[in-house]
Amino acid sequence: MLYSSIYLRKSPNMSTDPFSDILKFTNAESLVTGGFNAGGAWALRFPAPEKIKFFAVLKGECWVIIDGEAEPTHFRTGDVGLMTAKRAFVLASDLDTKPMDAMSVFTGARSGITTLGDGSDFSQLGGHVLLDPTSGRLLADVLPPWIHVPAASPQATSFRWLLEQLVAERANDLPGASLVAGQLAQMLFIQILRAHLQTSSPMPAGWLRALANPRLAPALRLMHGEPARDWHLEDLAQACAMSRTTFAFHFKKTAGVAPLTYLTEWRMRLAEKTLREERTSVATLAQSLGYASESAFSNAFKRVTGRSPKAFRNAGEILGEVV
């Protein structure tokens, strides 16, 4: 199915959720991979993750020491962390214990769970977030290297139920447990991102910061709801109850690009996905994204991506054959 054509069948008055759009676009999928229980003094050094990694402290507390970070972070029961940077890190009961290699400790662990010491003081659960190798950069590139959501923060309230359910699903060998655990892990990942969007710390200009801005939300919903429509600056500004000048300034300051540039870039993201995954003709794709001609679309695509639609599709096919 042509991804962009989904939008064309929506009612003109139907709002959408740009954040959900982007998560779907990047094929974000969360998986619980294991965890460990520990007692006494312990420390584990993990290699730099190739994927986005998340973990939660279910019981007890620990220190998290990340390569490149000036100070260690103290995690308590219910705290959740998300690491997007490819950096090695250490989890430890204290800062003086020499860390063991985590991979050797987990080798042969049943269901990815292992025990250090008597396992009575500490419990941790972790997993990965899988993203599309190409479109996933849209999300991975705007996230900070490291997110820590303390259990005491207002945003963490929903984590408690999710973590309890994840533990229960892994403990009880019930039909469909792996599927349920995957859905819960996906919800946990989304809640971590929501907490990050609501944080008071400033984010760099970009689409993620724009999504977190309630004043710009109406314009983003319009552009994501009907990307093929010939939106004008006046339409978008009016939806946000701002003048054209104020809206254009506020949007660019927050998103890093002008409103109609954002629209064009989102259209090209949809086009890239379609060219990779479908056999839709370039002419049909151009029409579905609101371009009057194939040449107009091709020029816009090349301007944004650096390649023509045909060259982009051919490169994807060659890569698929190699893989």
Q: Write the pLDDT tens digit of every residue in 153-199.
A: 887 778 888 888 888 887 777 788 888 888 999 999 998 988 888 87
Co-location of 32 and 169 in the same domain:
yes
Range of the domain at 228: 207-322
Whether 182 and 219 share a structural domain? no
**What pLDDT is attached to residue 317?**
57
State pTM to two decimals. 0.78
Which of 132, 133, 126, 140 shows the shortest CA–CA distance to 181? 126
The pLDDT of residue 238: 97
Segment 61-84, tens digit of pLDDT: 999 999 999 899 999 999 999 999
Q: How confident is the model at residue 201 (pLDDT cuts 50, 70, 90)?
A: low
Phi, psi of 21 (to 5 degrees): -55, -50
Q: Which of 166, 197, 228 is the last residue of a domain?
A: 197
Residue 4 domain-assigned?
Answer: no
Q: What amino acid occupies position 262?
A: Y
Helical spans, DSSP H, in 110-176: 137-140, 157-171
pLDDT per position as a tens digit, 140-156? 888 888 999 999 888 77
State the pLDDT at residue 7.
40
- The yes-or-no verdict on residue 58 having pLDDT over 60 is yes
- 13 falls within a domain: no
CATH code for the domain of 98: 2.60.120
Q: Does residue 128 sit in the same domain as residue 41? A: yes
The torsion angles phi and psi of 82, rounded to 5 degrees, stand at -130, 125
Question: What pLDDT is attached to residue 160?
Answer: 84
Residues 291 and 241 in one domain: yes
Burial of 176 (0-12, 13-18, 19+ CB in 10 A): exposed
Choice between 272 and 1, residue whose per-residue pLDDT is larger: 272
Q: What is the CATH number of the domain that holds 291?
A: 1.10.10.60
203 confidence band (pLDDT: 50, 70, 90): confident
Task: Look at residues 142, 174, 197 and tell me which one is the last residue of a structural domain.
Answer: 197
Say if 8 falls within a structural domain: no
The number of helix segments (H) and strand segments (E) in the chain equals 14, 11
